[in-house]
């Protein structure tokens, strides 16, 4: 089955009001080119589930987000995400604020087809106070109360990987696949962008096959977008773009999202990449040291 699509056709599958999961973590391996394609589209009223970075900030600033399911939104080296803050501080979005691990459990529950997973995480905190829809339950095996973390069912997931073949076998060669396997499994429709489209024989090497974290049946569409994680990182191919994130953050104080999008977004990814210095420059971005 050939799952290759253009970014525009892939993102056209997202409808108003859908729940969209976004892979990666903070400023790391975010499917930013697919996010930008959403910014170029008319889709709206999304519920976004993400270990958030600029993906969330941009979608909030562009008015695409009705509700955000999050544990944090941060650019790490710039701890506070500027456009997410604006969205929260202006009361523009509904939120479901949960613990990082609760999000993982919610994705697992969705992936496994169970309505919830019991956990003690969240007890005693305002994660429960502000989420009356998250119920506490009795255990049939002890006398404690437990949080019933509900399944976070996703209509669509967006994920960026290093390499994929035309059938949706995806390689993540970097040091961490984060929770991307669960985003892929929790969604009805998983759209993957890849830095490089490879022949299926690429995966014959067992070391490469071990860098595949979900089977191809969990991938619905493959979009080849070299540099598609920019300005987030796609280690080991490129690091995150510190200068760009600084300019992005500064834009929230001066010029606003309109100024930022005017300067960078472009009509398509080729124009975006020209606006940020080109693919060669992206591929030359140094890997971060932690």
Partner 1 sequence: MSTVATDYTLAELCIVAAAEAFRHDGEVLATGIGVIPRLAASLAMKTFNPDLMMTDSESFMLSEPNPLGKRPADFQQANESWMGFSRIFDNVWSGKRHAMLGPTQIDRFGQTNTSALGGTYQQPKVMMLGARGFPGNSICHANSFFVPGHNTRIFMDGECDFVSSIGYNPARVPRGRALDDVDIRRVITNLCVMDFGGPDHQIRLLSLHPGVTVDEVQENTAYPVVVPASVPTTPAPTVEQLAIIAALDPHNQRAAQIADNPPGIRA
The reply to whether 191 sits near partner 1 by the rule CB under 8 A is: no
DSSP string across 240-281? --HHHHHHHHHHHHTTHHHHHHHHHT-SSHHHHHHHTT-HHH
The reply to whether 121 sits near partner 1 by the rule CB under 8 A is: yes
Binder among 1, 2, 42, 126 for partner 1 (CB under 8 A): 126
Binder among 1, 2, 89, 199 for partner 1 (CB under 8 A): 89
Nearest-approach distance from CB 63 to partner 1, in angstroms: 17
Gap between the Cα atoms of 54 and 274, Å rounded: 20
CA atoms within 13 A on the CB side of 30: 28
Q: Could you tell me which of 136, 150, 165, 125 has the C-alpha nearest to residue 69?
A: 150
The reply to whether 101 sits near partner 1 by the rule CB under 8 A is: yes
Residue 169 in 3-state DSSP? Answer: coil
Nearest-approach distance from CB 267 to partner 1, in angstroms: 32
Nearest-approach distance from CB 163 to partner 1, in angstroms: 19
The reply to whether 177 sits near partner 1 by the rule CB under 8 A is: yes
Binder among 1, 2, 42, 79 for partner 1 (CB under 8 A): 79
Q: Could you tell me which of 69, 57, 71 has the C-alpha nearest to residue 96?
A: 69
Q: Output the CA–CA distances (angstroms, integers) from residue 76 to 59, 72, 290, in the order listed.
A: 18, 10, 11
Element (H, E) at 107: helix 100-112
Nearest-approach distance from CB 10 to partner 1, in angstroms: 26
* Interacting residues with partner 1 between 208 and 267 (CB under 8 A): none
Nearest-approach distance from CB 178 to partner 1, in angstroms: 5
The reply to whether 74 sits near partner 1 by the rule CB under 8 A is: yes
Gap between the Cα atoms of 211 and 203, Å rounded: 9
Name the one range near partner 1 by CB under 8 A: 8-16, 36-44, 87-95, 258-266.
87-95
Task: Please give the biggest Cα pair distance in the chain.
Answer: 61
Gap between the Cα atoms of 55 and 35, Å rounded: 6
The reply to whether 135 sits near partner 1 by the rule CB under 8 A is: no
Binder among 32, 104, 223, 229 for partner 1 (CB under 8 A): 104
Residue 15 or 138 with smaller CB distance to partner 1: 138
The reply to whether 120 sits near partner 1 by the rule CB under 8 A is: yes
Nearest-approach distance from CB 249 to partner 1, in angstroms: 14
Break the chain down into helix, strand, coil percent, rounded to 5.
35, 25, 40
Residues making contact with partner 1 (CB under 8 A) = 25, 70-74, 79-80, 84-85, 88-91, 97-102, 104, 119-127, 129-130, 142-145, 175-179, 181-182, 289-290
């Amino acid at each position: 089955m050939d799952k290759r699509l253009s970014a525009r056709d892939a993102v056209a599958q997202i409808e108003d009001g859908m729940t969209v999961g976004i892979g990666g973590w903070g400023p790391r391996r975010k499917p930013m080119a697919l996010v930008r394609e959403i910014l170029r589209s008319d889709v709206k009223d999304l519920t976004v589930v993400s270990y958030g970075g600029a993906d969330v900030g941009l979608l909030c600033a562009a008015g695409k987000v009705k509700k955000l399911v999050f544990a944090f939104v941060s650019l790490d080296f710039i701890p506070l995400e500027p456009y997410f803050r604006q969205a929260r501080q202006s009361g523009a979005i509904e939120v479901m604020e949960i613990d990082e691990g609760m999000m993982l459990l919610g994705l697992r529950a969705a992936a496994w087809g169970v309505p919830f997973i019991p956990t003690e995480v969240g007890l005693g905190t305002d994660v429960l106070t502000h989420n009356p829809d998250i119920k506490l339950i009795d255990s049939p095996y002890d006398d404690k109360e437990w949080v019933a973390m509900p399944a976070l069912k996703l209509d669509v997931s967006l994920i960026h990987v290093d390499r994929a073949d035309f059938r949706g076998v995806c390689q993540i060669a970097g040091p961490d696949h984060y929770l991307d396997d669960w985003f892929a499994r929790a969604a009805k429709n998983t759209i993957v962008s890849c830095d490089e489209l490879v022949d299926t024989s690429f995966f014959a090497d067992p070391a490469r096959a071990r860098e595949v974290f979900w089977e191809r049946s969990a991938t619905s569409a493959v979009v080849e977008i070299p540099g598609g994680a920019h300005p987030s990182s796609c280690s080991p191919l490129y690091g995150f773009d510190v200068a760009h994130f600084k300019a992005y953050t500064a834009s929230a104080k001066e010029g606003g999202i309109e100024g930022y999008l005017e300067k960078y977004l472009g009509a398509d990814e080729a124009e975006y990449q020209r606006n940020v210095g080109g693919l060669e420059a992206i591929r030359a971005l140094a890997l971060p040291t932690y």
